[in-house]
């Protein structure tokens, strides 16, 4: 055997020894990924290229001239001359490339988001927030949890195409757990401690499955099942269900019910794909999250659908996770957890910290006298009549960067900052430049 032949033989062996699930679109190695996105600047560049493949275009005036802000590399400022709509004035409109993505309004470096998306997209199952917190160097579990939940929100694109062809639809019950108790669903068909989940899966030849959809529903009846089918399947497709009456009279779709009651046929024989989905989903929920909780079940179902539908393409998984090309609303912690008592208490503490001690003392006296809450007592006092002098800004006003300067802005965390005397020197130079 020649050397070349040996090499191909070894390569062939390695292919079969280490098979990959990434058949179409392999992810880059960790090293390659770090080299591709070394800093926020590179991440912003990637986002800008996705938004404007042919270069910057101002969404306001259509000008192709612009520059990016030095301190916030994801913000582009138009330098177009402006047309009649602006009355001949310069446009100067600022456009952020993270608007409409999951990173909208973030305080984390863009690189942290990219790394988080890489971790989530290349993981086979799912990661809980305890894992990325130390890996990404995040300060708190809450930050990591919020980051993952924001990525989960981006996993479900509202404009996705509906399932088509032959589609199996069925529903199941999944036992959930509370924050302290393990999974304790009622036995048999009991709905206690369980959530109804309806699913649809595309039939592909050879017992294979195509895309899937999942949804948690309040009750197992036509009121919830029919809207799910109409929302998630294309007009004119085939719907295969069991003999449940809730699926009868589906509008504009061909319905093929199979009555299993009275026959000896087990349900997983005619509906092999949908039972595979449910079996995987239940195993995934127990294994990764030690059981779903009712509150965030939609987010976890969305993640399962995302992982199923994009299991073999890295690039589209990354883009979807970061919300590239989507128009996501800005999401904050409160949008995800809701108005909790804990949040309200923290908010009140914040207010009390801002109030002067003397005003707080008066408010406490009023609260004790009238028997009202402290926060309401503060309202009774009304605004302060003392006018405090306004503090000058702590941050120096920075001159524009000159050729050869390597100054980094305060927004890029961890980046080396220019010593104060250097900043002042630059400011003096700028003054001379203006004079």
Summarize as ranges the residues that interact with Zn ion (CB under 5 A): 58, 60-61, 63, 78, 80, 91, 93
| Distance in Å, CB of 326 to Zn ion, minimum | 23
Polymer length of the chain: 435
| Distance in Å, CB of 93 to Zn ion, minimum | 5
With respect to Zn ion, which residue has the nearer C-beta, 94 or 131?
Answer: 94
Beta sheet of 238-242, edge-to-edge order: 208-217, 194-204, 166-175, 238-242, 254-258
With respect to Zn ion, which residue has the nearer C-beta, 79 or 326?
Answer: 79
| Distance in Å, CB of 56 to Zn ion, minimum | 10
Torsion-angle region of residue 100: left (phi > 0), alpha (psi -120 to 50) or beta?
left
Contact present, 199 and 242 (Cβ < 8 Å)? no
With respect to Zn ion, which residue has the nearer C-beta, 94 or 315?
Answer: 94
Helix (H) or strand (E) holding 193: none
| Distance in Å, CB of 90 to Zn ion, minimum | 8
With respect to Zn ion, which residue has the nearer C-beta, 92 or 407?
Answer: 92
Burial of 350 (0-12, 13-18, 19+ CB in 10 A): exposed
| Distance in Å, CB of 83 to Zn ion, minimum | 9
| Distance in Å, CB of 78 to Zn ion, minimum | 3
With respect to Zn ion, which residue has the nearer C-beta, 57 or 146?
Answer: 57
Pick from 310, 320, 305: which is nearest to 197 by CA?
305
Classify the C-alpha dihedral 168-169-173-177 as positive or negative.
Answer: positive
Which residue in this structure is represented by tokens 């929302």?
231
| Distance in Å, CB of 98 to Zn ion, minimum | 19
With respect to Zn ion, which residue has the nearer C-beta, 93 or 430?
Answer: 93
With respect to Zn ion, which residue has the nearer C-beta, 60 or 407?
Answer: 60
DSSP string, 214-280: EEEESSSSHHHHHHHHHHHB-TT-EEEEES-GGGSS-TTSEEEEE--TTSS--TTTTTHHHHHHHHH
Which residue in this structure is represented by tokens 């062809």?
165
């Amino acid at each position: 055997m020649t050397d070349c032949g040996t090499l191909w033989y070894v390569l062939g062996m390695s292919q079969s020894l280490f098979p990959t699930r990434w058949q179409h679109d392999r992810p880059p190695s960790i090293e390659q990924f770090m080299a591709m996105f070394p800093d926020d600047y590179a991440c912003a560049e990637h986002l800008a290229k996705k938004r404007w493949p042919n270069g910057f275009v101002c969404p306001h005036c259509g000008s192709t001239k612009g520059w990016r802000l030095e301190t916030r590399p994801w913000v582009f400022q138009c330098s177009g001359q402006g047309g009649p709509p602006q009355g001949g004035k310069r446009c100067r409109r600022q456009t952020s490339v993270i608007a409409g993505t999951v990173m909208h309004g973030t305080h984390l470096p863009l690189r942290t988001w990219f790394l988080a998306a890489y971790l989530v997209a290349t993981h086979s199952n799912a990661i809980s927030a305890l894992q990325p917190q130390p890996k990404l160097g995040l300060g708190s579990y809450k930050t990591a949890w919020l980051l993952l939940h924001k990525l989960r929100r981006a996993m479900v694109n509202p404009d996705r195409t509906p399932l088509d062809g032959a589609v199996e639809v069925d529903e199941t019950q999944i036992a959930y757990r509370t924050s302290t108790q393990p999974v304790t669903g009622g036995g048999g068909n009991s709905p206690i401690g369980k959530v109804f989940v309806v699913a649809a899966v595309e039939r592909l030849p050879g017992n294979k499955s195509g895309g899937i959809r999942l949804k948690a529903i309040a009750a197992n009846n036509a009121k919830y099942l029919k809207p799910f089918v109409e929302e998630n399947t294309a007009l004119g497709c085939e719907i295969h269900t069991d003999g449940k009456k809730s699926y009868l009279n589906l509008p504009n779709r061909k319905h093929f019910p199979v009555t299993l009651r009275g026959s000896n046929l087990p349900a997983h024989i005619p509906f092999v794909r949908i039972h595979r989905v449910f079996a995987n989903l239940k195993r995934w929920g127990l294994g990764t999250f030690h059981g779903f909780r009712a509150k965030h079940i939609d987010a976890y179902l969305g993640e399962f659908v995302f992982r199923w539908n994009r299991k073999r393409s890295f690039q589209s998984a990354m883009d979807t996770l970061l919300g590239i090309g989507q128009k996501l609303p800005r999401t904050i912690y409160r949008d995800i957890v809701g108005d909790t008592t804990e949040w309200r208490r923290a908010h009140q503490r914040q207010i009390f910290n801002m109030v002067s001690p003397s005003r707080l003392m008066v408010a406490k006296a009023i609260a004790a006298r009238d028997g009202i809450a402290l926060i309401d007592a503060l309202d009774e006092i009304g605004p302060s009549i003392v006018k405090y002098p306004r503090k000058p800004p702590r941050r120096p006003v920075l001159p524009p960067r000159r050729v050869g300067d390597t100054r980094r802005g305060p927004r890029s965390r961890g980046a080396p900052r220019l010593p104060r005397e250097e900043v002042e020197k630059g400011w003096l130079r700028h003054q001379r430049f203006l004079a």
